[in-house]
Amino acid sequence: MHFGLHHLNIRKRIHSWHDPYPHPDKAIRALDKIVVTGALLGPLVNIPQLLQIYTTQNAGGLSLFTWSSYIFFNIIWLIYGVIHKSRLILVCYSMWAVMNAITVIGILLFS
């Protein structure tokens, strides 16, 4: 008698399979490195926008709703990263949230 719990063992075996890291395939390893680099450098592309806002003290062309929405979606990704224990997602979207929050502060101060 299995009391309908036989599917738990099957599910456990299905979810225990993971790709090895670093991956044995050179192309996938290269893609992994590109993704890590992009995740770390991506938020830094916001620096010119921040410099423009804070040096000119003008945020006239920026939408508070849009930049606030970016923070909201960053928080969703941060929750996802916590649940899945992905350090890369946590670092990347923490950086994006900080950059977007600084932008929102600039919009509030200089609009």
Contact status, residue 22 vs residue 32, Cβ threshold 8 Å: yes
Q: Three-state SS string across the chain, please?
A: CCCCCHHHHHHHHHHCCCCCCCCCCHHHHHHHHHHHHHHHHHHHHHHHHHHHHHHHCCCCCCCHHHHHHHHHHHHHHHHHHHHHCCHHHHHHHHHHHHHHHHHHHHHHHHC
- What pLDDT does residue 10 have? 52
- What pLDDT does residue 21 have? 73
- What pLDDT does residue 17 have? 66
- What pLDDT does residue 15 have? 58
Q: Tens-digit pLDDT profile for the chain (111 aa)? A: 455 555 555 555 555 666 777 788 899 999 989 999 999 999 999 999 999 999 999 999 999 999 999 999 999 999 999 999 999 999 999 999 999 999 999 999 998
- What pLDDT does residue 59 have? 95
Q: Which CATH class is domain 6-110?
A: mainly alpha
The CA distance from 77 to 79, in Å, is 5
- What pLDDT does residue 69 have? 97
- What pLDDT does residue 11 have? 53
